[in-house]
Amino acid sequence: MEFRWPVRVYYEDTDAGGIVYYANYLKFFERARTEWLRQLGFNQELLRQQGVLFVVREVNARYLQPARLDDELEVSVTVEKMGKASFNMAQTVYRVSSEGEQPLVSGSVSIACIDSSGKPRAIPADIRSAL
């Protein structure tokens, strides 16, 4: 199931040319994943207190078109593959306008589940079933 989170491009997100700085798309990805977990009923701070942490193992991004100051965007999150202690996600940033939506950046993100000491741990059953 796909989840989407709206993002507005602010001046602080752009470079000197008025387009979104490439690294900020990773921040948009992160915000969408955090809100996706929250929507599923999982608060990352509470998970951390329980010794469940999700960390990025790998990320790949393909930049298709630039986003610009004041653009309205949506960032999608879709689980593609689930392992015992990790999962892979597809994420896309879309520009949303009256003409429709246009994909700007597509990416894949590999997430690992670790405990508070940094060692891999199984994804808890309640989280696994929600994902």
CB–CB of 55/101 below 8 Å? no
**Taking the C-alpha atoms of 117, 121, 125 and 127 in order, what is their torsion angle to the nearest 10 degrees?**
60
Q: Is the dihedral of CA 117, 122, 126, 130 positive or negative?
A: positive
Please state, in angstroms and rounded to a whole number, the distance separating the CA atoms of residues 48 and 67: 33
Catalytic residues: 15
**84 vs 43, 51, 54, 111, CA distance in Å?**
20, 16, 13, 11
**104 vs 74, 91, 92, CA distance in Å?**
10, 11, 7
